[in-house]
Amino acid sequence: MSARIIDGKGAAAALRAKVAVEVAGYRAATGRAPGLAVVLVGEDPASAVYVRSKGKATLEAGMLSFEHKLPAEISEGKLIDLINELNSDPAVDGILVQLPLPDHIDPNQVILAIDPDKDVDGFHPINAGRLAIGLTGFTPCTPLGCLKLLKAELGDLSGKNAVVIGRSNIVGKPMAMLLLAEHCTVTIAHSRTRDLPEVVRAADIVVAAVGRAGMVKGDWLKPGATVIDVGINRVAGEGGNSHLAGDVDFASASQIAGAITPVPGGVGPMTIACLIRNTLVSAARRDGFELPEDL
């Protein structure tokens, strides 16, 4: 059996195009463009790449991008001062602080400072709580992107056995809450799980978000399972080269799975598309502008 490859890149482009259409409508209706403020502290090259991609996608969707680059030595207090300014700036609908932050800054304090109604990353505890309880809020972009891929692939998820491997606040836990809201039977597995292959074998849906290249093997999978690979691991190759690999061993898994996301080109592009989507949603909520329910 050879799995269908889930085209995250295509799905992300389609979502971004859909957002752009809605942004145009929003601008026509309100006379202003949604704005996303991205805050980057320090010089981490990977973070700089992410921030650039986010800014580019924001502009391409017809929204405004406000980039704030701060020196690594900035104090937590000064960073929070900036966030407070962004909180009260009516041109800013979404605020994203690129993680990780330098060691002397407590990311929890920074996240708590963001107005929950501009928290398009969905990392504020009140948004984690709203997601758990089923209230309107913001869902973290990566699990939201995974869910969109799953629903596009499978349609109704009700009653399916889903296993989420990894229990981070950014992916694993919100992913579990989203799948539960879709009426899946949800198992959250992690590094302390005994006999992980056996747990995975029971799953119709596997979401792997552990950060270990190739950990999930093909023979762990139930034949026909849908596999979403969140991992983006840089693996050393021959001659000093390196390549990106997911948490799933693609070669073996794609022989057993019914459908699988590739790395790169799977979940990654969906994350940024969902960020753009969340920013538009924030703007629309503030202005009472109606968006399609399935956006």
Interaction site with its own copies (CB under 8 A)? 108, 124-135, 137, 158-159, 161, 167, 169, 173, 176-177, 180, 183-190, 192-194, 199, 202
The residue annotated as part of the active site, out of 119, 121, 204, 249, is: 121
Nearest one of 130, 138, 32 to 95, comparing CA atoms:
138
Output 133 or 236, the one with its CB closest to its own copies: 133
The gap from C-alpha 189 to its chain's centroid, in whole angstroms, comes to: 19
Minimum CB separation of residue 106 from its own copies in Å reads: 11
Output 170 or 248, the one with its CB closest to its own copies: 170
Minimum CB separation of residue 281 from its own copies in Å reads: 18
The residue annotated as part of the active site, out of 54, 118, 160, 173, is: 54
Backbone φ, ψ for residue 185 (5° rounding): -85, 120
Minimum CB separation of residue 190 from its own copies in Å reads: 7
The residue annotated as part of the active site, out of 18, 93, 98, 160, is: 98
Block residue for tokens 């691991």: 233
Block residue for tokens 């891929």: 149
Q: How far is CA 271 from CA 140, 206, 265, 276, in A?
A: 9, 18, 11, 9
Q: Can you point out the beta strands (E) in 53-148?
A: 64-70, 94-97
Q: Active-site residue 121, yes or no? A: yes
Minimum CB separation of residue 137 from its own copies in Å reads: 8
Output 191 or 242, the one with its CB closest to its own copies: 191
Nearest one of 85, 188, 177, 184 to 137, comparing CA atoms:
177
Output 75 or 136, the one with its CB closest to its own copies: 136
Angle at Cα 268 formed by Cα 38 and Cα 124, nearest 5°?
A: 45
Using CA atoms, how far apart are residues 138 and 129, in angstroms rounded to an integer?
10
- 224 marked as part of a ligand binding site: no
> What is the set of active-site residues?
54, 98, 121
List binding-site positions for NADP(+): 166-168, 232
